[in-house]
Structure 1
Amino acid sequence: MSLNTHFAAPITTALGRKGLLVALVALILDQVSKWWILYELNLALLQQVKISPLFSFTMVWNKGVSFGLLSSDGWGRWVLVVFSLGVAVFLIDWLRKGTKPVLTYGLALVAGGAIGNAIDRIYYGAVVDFLDFSGLYFPWVFNIADAAINIGVACLFLDVFLLSRSETKDDTKHS
């Protein structure tokens, strides 16, 4: 099977189609929230809007990976874009064949979040972060894409370390 045929293949499961929808919803929520923060609330000008003692909208231009780690400018930005989009393509190809809900939705959330943050890097040169829970002693400012990626990774760990192990135990009981 050629690479073109492989990626042009239709989504093969109903769960895979639902997973693709989850990725799309994560991407849309992320981009709409960032648009609202930048162009309606004008947070880039305001810098911070306190909502409660626990939560604020705080403007952060994140040039790094998750939570500002491995900050990079110039060509490093494009390396992160290519890497993010490459990961997203791989995950979308994997999730379209989904047979396990937690795994499929986890892949979808990571893919949707990765694409959302890659779009920011392309258009702005940095990721738009604005959700600030420092009142809860959480030191990082993040966005919907970051939340989707982290929830997705948690789903992947749940599937690999808990659900897959219980399936393996069930398979040995039935053997």
Structure 2
Amino acid sequence: MSKKNLAILTILIAIILDQIIKIYVKTHFALGEEVVVFDWFILHFTENNGMAMGFEFGGKAGKLFLTLFRLVAVCGIIYWLTQTIKRKVNNAVIIAISLIFSGAVGNIIDSVFYGVIFDSSEHKVATLFSDNPYGTIFHGKVVDMFYFPLWQGVLPDWIPFVGGEFFTFFQYIFNPADAFISVGVALLFIFSKQAFPKEEKKIEA
């Protein structure tokens, strides 16, 4: 398989999988509803109205700025991917950049379109293609559902600042797109020499 086809296949599979899972959760869970798969793995439906890990800024204007920034970033990733495909690099690098691109696009789809194709999930299951959408274009909320509370307990008192407090690891709720970005970054770190080759210096006679 050519590197170009590998990138296209990775992107298509990742984006489709991301959206299938998000749409399923959105149309089968009310906001805050959860299913305990294992003690350490919970499907918990929440929505992120801002940046990663739930940070928000600037209200609607900030949300619009964030979405537009993501669109610009995606254009940069496309250029990076096309330039990388031209080089003879490990396929893992192609997959890594493709996953990062897919994750960014997956969350952009939520931000751009979900506000106009879904109604509210407050206290009920949302309807796809509703006549009463909860938002406007570019102001949709990102759907999150994966929660891995691998350890919960009170931290030892000797730990500075947080000692004696109840702590959950891992406390953040994320979605497939976030996972794709994280895996892509991890692969780039592992294959950093192939992803970011150093230019050889020419020795002058």
TM-score between the two structures when normalised by the length of structure 2: 0.66
Greater shift in the superposed pair: 86-95 or 142-151: 86-95
Q: Give, in whole Å, the separation in 2 of the partners of 1:159 and 1:94.
A: 16
Q: Secondary structure at the match of 1:134?
A: coil
Where does structure 1 lack aligned partners over 5 or more consecutive residues? 1-12
3-state SS, counterpart of residue 38 of structure 2: coil
State how many pairs are aligned: 154
CA distance in 2, matches of 1:157, 1:57: 29
Per-residue displacement from partner, 1:102-156 (whole Å, max 9, x unpaired)?
A: 2221111111110110111122322100001114421100000000011111122
Q: Does the CA-based 8 Å contact 1:63-1:71 persist in structure 2? A: no
Q: For residue 43 of structure 2, what is the amino acid of its counterpart? A: F
Q: Residues 164, 55 of structure 1: CA spacing in aligned structure 2 closer, same or farther, 3 A cutoff?
A: closer
CA positional deviation for 1:64: 2.4
1:57 aligns with 2:43: yes
Q: Taking every aligned residue pair, what percent have the same amino acid on both sides? A: 31
1:126 matched to 2:141: yes
Q: Please state if 1:114 is matched with 2:129.
A: no
Q: Distance in 2 between matches of 1:63 and 1:143?
A: 14
1:8 corresponding residue in structure 2: none
1:72: Cα distance to partner?
5.2
Q: Is the 8 A contact 2:15 2:103 kept in 1?
A: yes
Name the amino acid aligned to 2:182.
Answer: N
String of CA shifts for 1:84-119, please: whole Å, max 9, x gaps.
122222212322341322222111111111011011
Distance 1:143 1:71, change over 3 A: farther
Q: 1:51 to 1:64 in 2, by over 3 A?
A: same
Q: CA deviation at 1:46?
A: 5.9
Would the aligned equivalents of 2:110 and 2:143 in 1 still touch at CA under 8 Å?
A: yes
1:155 to 184, 187, 196: 187
* CA shift for structure 1 position 38: 1.1
- Computing the radius of gyration over CA atoms, which structure comes out larger, 1 or 2? 2
Gaps of 5+ in 2: 116-139, 152-168
The root-mean-square deviation of aligned C-alpha atoms, in Å, is 2.5
In structure 2, distance between residues paired with 1:46 and 1:35: 15
TM-score after normalising by structure 1:
0.76
Secondary structure class of the residue paired with 2:59: coil
Conservation of the 8 A alpha-carbon contact between 1:103 and 1:155: yes
